[in-house]
Amino acid sequence: MTSVVNRMKSTPRVQNSTFYGFARTLVHLVNRYYFHAKVFYEAPLPSKPFILAPTHRSYVDTPLVGSVLKEPVRYMAKAELWENPWLGRLVELLGGFPVDRNSTDRTSLNTALAILKSGDALVVFPEGERRVGDRVEHLHEGVAYLALKSKVPVVPVAFYGSGKVMPPGAKLPRPAVVRAIVGRQIDSVKYLSRTGSTSKTVSRGAIVELTAELERELQRLYDQAKAMK
């Protein structure tokens, strides 16, 4: 997959705003009327840039982000999608760029940092891949690293019900009720000041602590979404 990633530029192509607007409207309608998706916010979203960090139980989690954020966003997508050139191009038009999940992908990390530096919002699934069950655990540390390096907040989001829409092995989405709770932002900067990080380096302690807080918040939000009627 490295060759696929390396063919991409250091920053992803800017998606066509008209196409994105049309696609987002279509996706939002599907989310609302087919998945009966409802989104709840614990607090207003922060000003960009920030990292949106959702739970991941289904392929439909990425489209569900379209009901959380109205403006165009960038997001990491598995590099395997670019094995189909047409699909890869579609993902790019919607703001995606490839990440090799089998290695430490420096190209994708640099792309993500450039996106945040430019002032855009970035979507990263901290679980890394689809998980099964109600436990949020063993998060990857990429979200924490990017947030600390860029000094931007992290916004946790829990999707409940998406695993019923498209469970592992399903070919097509099924009607189901989906609930999303957008949590309060997590301030990454506070971890820099208390863990010995400098303006150029991010300490290991800061990454571990921020990842732990994100895990706790995602579990809290997921449990809360599950309890909703």
Identify the residue with better confidence: 5 or 35: 35
Identify the residue with better confidence: 91 or 182: 182
Sheet holding 154-160, edge to edge: 38-41, 179-182, 154-160, 51-54, 122-123, 74-78, 96-99
Task: Give the range of the structural domain holding residue 143, as residue numbers without chain letter.
Answer: 2-227
- Strand 122-123 and strand 74-78: pairing? parallel
Stretch 4-15: mean pLDDT: 46
CATH number where 62 lies: 3.40.1130.10
Q: What is the structure's pLDDT at 229?
A: 67
Q: Which of 78, 118, 119 is nearest to 96 (CA)?
A: 78
pLDDT band, residue 11 (cuts 50/70/90) = very low
Any bridge partners for residue 74, and if so which? 122
Query: What total number of domains does the chain contain?
Result: 1
Q: What is the structure's pLDDT at 195?
A: 60
CA–CA dist 63, 131 (Å, integer) = 17
Would you say 53 and 194 are in contact if contact means Cβ atoms under 8 Å apart?
no
Q: What is the structure's pLDDT at 79?
A: 84
Q: Is the pTM of this model over 0.85?
A: yes
CA–CA dist 219, 209 (Å, integer) = 16
What pLDDT, in 10s, does the model give residues 81-131? 888 888 888 888 888 888 876 666 788 889 999 999 999 999 999 998 889
